[in-house]
Structure 1
Amino acid sequence: MSSVGGGRRPRLAAGLAVGVLALAAALVATGRLPDGTDDGSDRLAEEAADARWLEGVTPGWMSEQMGLDIPVTARSLRAAYEVTSRFDTGLLTFTLTRVEAEAYLKEHTPEGDWLEPTSAAETDVTPHDFAHFGLPEPETLKDGMRYGVVCPGASEAALDPHAPGVDTSDASCVSLYAHAYTPTRTRIYLRDHYEPGISPLPAPPSSTPTG
């Protein structure tokens, strides 16, 4: 998988990181830790205060970090990268025609099958990640939604959940959501989590001196 600088960077497994996010959200909402104490909200509030969105993050750079290409026909490309003290979050989104989206999803198959929401959308998801772009969080969408975990760095054997002795813990996996939001277009949402310290991070855009 490609990455800036050509090195293999440390990452968090997609499922684990999503679980950490859900737990953190629950702790913030309740102000309690699993052992029943009530000082968790202060700790999480301090960590949230350290969070910052990087400047200079481009769709191309984020695509390289995720190891997933962006079709040349993609529209409404947006990318972001948030740095925190616990783990970083990379976001990438774009739209395709329904036909182009089907081809993209066929090329980038998930670990297991594509999943669809089986109940009401998760209305309690706190807007944060894709809200940075003014978009709804994909977990809150139901109609026309498919999602899965795509591991572009894994071998075909590692993607077979029935293969004996397969370990995908080292695979570079990305959460992919595909939302057919109109009869003719689909929005692709990509989210990945990383251990802090990807190097090099994109440099902020330089300012042009005036005067």
Structure 2
Amino acid sequence: MTDPNARSAPGQKDGRAPRRWRAAAVLVLAGAVIAAGVLLTGADDGKDGGRAAREAADARWAEGITPEWMAERMGLDVPATAGSPRAAYEVTSRFDTGILTFTLTRAEAKRYLEKHPPDGKWLEPTSAQTTNAHDFAHFGLPEPETLKKGIRYGYVCPGATAEWAQSPSDTYDMSDERCVRLYAHDHTPTHTRIYLRTHFAPGTTPLPPTPSP
């Protein structure tokens, strides 16, 4: 029962809060609900922001990866005359990525590309070509998709079936008989850098033993 002797706050009638106070309370409550929703959804920046953040968090570069090991998994070779050969293998929850790069003289590169021809023909990037890859940045190199001059690329399919070789995909093919995307970049007047990248189903590729400290 309301105390008839109770005093109301300024602007208050019949023991009720003024309208402007009630409106402010509603706004505060709505803000709290929105903030809680953002926290529950993982502060998703766009449609795939939360997923991308989770994938980045669980990604790791495997240890003990050598150019010879990576070339064998790709079904290719690293010429004995190759300069600065480097390889890496990234493990994620969605797919694994193997990368390999080295440099050759122009003449050596010509022989290497003739030995490993692409399915179809060599392609050149378009001005609209973009990439979300950050693979070769692991070596401090630009991603081959971002290069516009002196670059050609194609799908090299060592041991692939004819059906797969006829329709290689830009997405993540993880079949046993896979194609490797090969980029050749004439980065100096005398030398060509070879970039190789392929993908594997997660957890299916036995990794080399971790080196002892």
**1:48 partner SS:** helix
The structure with the larger Rg is 2
CA distance in 2, matches of 1:114, 1:172: 18
Question: Does residue 76 of structure 2 align to residue 68 of structure 1?
Answer: yes
TM-score by length of 1: 0.71
Q: CA deviation at 1:126?
A: 4.6
The reply on whether 1:197 has 2:212 as its aligned counterpart is no
Find the counterpart in structure 2 of residue 35 from structure 1.
Answer: none
Q: Which runs of 4+ in 1 moved over 3 A?
A: 157-162
TM-score by length of 2: 0.70
Q: Aligned-pair distance for 1:198?
A: 2.9
Give 1:188's aligned residue.
194
Q: Do the aligned partners of residues 200 and 170 (structure 1) sit closer, same or farther apart at CA in structure 2, a change above 3 Å counting?
A: closer
* Equivalent position of 1:102 in the other structure: 110
Q: Say which SS state the counterpart of residue 131 (structure 1) adopts.
A: helix
Q: Which residue of 2 aligns with 1:177?
A: 183
**1:45 match: secondary structure:** helix
Q: Does 1:154 align with 2:169?
A: no
**What percentage of aligned pairs have identical amino acids?**
67
In 2, the alpha carbon distance for the partners of 1:104 and 1:159 equals: 22
Work out the number of aligned pairs and report it: 163
Identify unmatched segments of 5+ residues in structure 2: 1-43, 168-174
Provide the alpha-carbon RMSD of the alignment: 2.2
1:119 deviates by 2.4
Separation of aligned partners in 2, 1:46 and 1:159 = 32
Q: Tell me whether 1:31 sits opposite 2:37 in the alignment.
A: no
The amino acid that maps onto 2:192 is: T
SS of equivalent to 2:93: coil
Q: Considering Cα pairs closer than 8 Å and 6+ residues apart, tell me whether 1 or 2 has the greater RCO.
A: 1
1:137-178, Cα deviation, whole Å (9 max, x unpaired): 0001011101001100126x558749xxxxxx7632001000
